[in-house]
């Protein structure tokens, strides 16, 4: 039964690849960057060939990159690549969101000089894209397979994002280590999350029990946001803070428990990545 299911997925790969658009400027730019990368460091030529040049477009390359990271004895990489390609074909927004995430990382992360670096190496980017596929599976009633992807992503990348959590576009999860996002959490567009952030519950309550992170929020390293609360648009949560109550839009909070400090934010902190607290 397993073999038949996997073979059916793999049999459609050639057709699926033909239907995938090669991609817009992001794919052409990635090919150029990858070619330069291989020229500068010949030891990476094979990696560039397998990760980029062997594929006809961004979606196909992304499906195979994620599958190569997550494949194991339970579900092999080729079968996972076919599964992910299926999800991306059925829901093109997965691919569009991934491309926007990649661009956002390049724009916001000073350690990121190009597009291929996060595509090859950044586990925050990889975990976010695996979540987009697992979320698609979850919404289509395939919860066990969604949990498998969640588990493998947690094992490989050190992040734990529940498949039911809702993520927007242009998400930056910087470093990624020890980030936890709970089942009923919502992360809107243009949010930046640093390492060791938790969007969790406060105990054993059921139902809608996780935070809602609105557009443009910056969550500093080690921040814990707990309960069904809202962090308003353009807010900033300082490193190491514990947030147990709603945060007003364009407000900076710090401390344990977190309290408002400084003047009203005049920019979207997630876009500037400015973690400093201005004085009144």
160: β partners:
180
Would you state the pLDDT for residue 128?
Answer: 98
Residues of the chain with pLDDT > 90, as a percent, come to 87
Would you state the pLDDT for residue 197?
Answer: 98
Collapsing DSSP states into helix, strand and coil, what is residue 36?
helix
Reported as a single tens digit per residue, the pLDDT across 255-264 is: 999 999 999 9
- The mean pLDDT value for 58-79 works out to 96
Residue 187 φ then ψ, to 5°:
-120, 110
- The mean pLDDT value for 133-140 works out to 98
Q: Rounded CA gap, 148 and 124, in Å?
A: 18
Structure tokens, 104: 């956002």
- The mean pLDDT value for 41-58 works out to 96
pLDDT of 4 > 60? The answer is no
260: β partners:
253
pLDDT of 279 > 90? The answer is no
Closest CA to 32 of 121, 120, 118, 115: 115
Which domains does the chain possess?
2-158 (1.10.3130.10), 165-280 (2.160.10.10)
Cβ atoms of 179 and 185 within 8 Å: the answer is no
Reported as a single tens digit per residue, the pLDDT across 9-45 is: 555 555 554 444 544 579 999 999 999 999 999 999 9
Cβ atoms of 278 and 242 within 8 Å: the answer is no
Would you state the pLDDT for residue 204?
Answer: 82
| List of residues 6+ apart from 10 with CB closer than 8 A | 78, 79, 82
């Amino acid at each position: 039964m397993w073999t038949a299911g996997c073979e059916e997925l793999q049999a459609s790969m050639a057709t699926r690849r033909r239907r995938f658009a090669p991609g817009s400027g992001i794919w052409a730019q990635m090919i150029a960057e990858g070619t330069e990368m291989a020229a500068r460091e010949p030891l990476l030529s094979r990696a560039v060939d397998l990760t980029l040049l062997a594929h006809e477009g961004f979606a196909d390359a992304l499906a195979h990159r994620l599958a190569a990271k997550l494949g194991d004895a339970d579900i092999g990489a080729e079968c996972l690549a076919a599964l992910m390609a299926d999800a991306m074909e059925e829901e093109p927004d997965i691919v569009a969101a991934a491309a926007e995430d990649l661009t956002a990382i390049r724009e916001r992360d000073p350690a990121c000089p190009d597009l291929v670096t996060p595509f090859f190496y950044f586990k925050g980017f990889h975990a976010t894209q695996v979540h987009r596929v697992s979320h698609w599976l979850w919404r289509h009633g395939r919860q066990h397979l969604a949990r498998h992807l969640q588990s493998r992503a947690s094992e490989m990348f050190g992040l734990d994002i529940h498949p039911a959590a809702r993520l927007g576009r242009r998400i930056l999860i910087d470093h990624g280590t020890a980030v936890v996002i709970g089942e009923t959490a919502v992360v809107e567009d243009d949010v930046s999350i640093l390492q060791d952030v938790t969007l969790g519950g406060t105990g054993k309550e059921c139902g809608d029990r996780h935070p809602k992170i609105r557009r443009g929020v910056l969550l500093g390293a080690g921040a814990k946001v707990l309960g069904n609360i809202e962090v308003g648009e353009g807010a900033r949560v300082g490193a190491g803070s514990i947030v147990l109550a709603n945060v007003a839009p364009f407000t900076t909070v710090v401390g344990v428990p977190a309290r408002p400090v400084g003047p009203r934010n005049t920019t979207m902190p997630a876009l500037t990545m400015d973690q400093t607290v201005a004085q009144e």
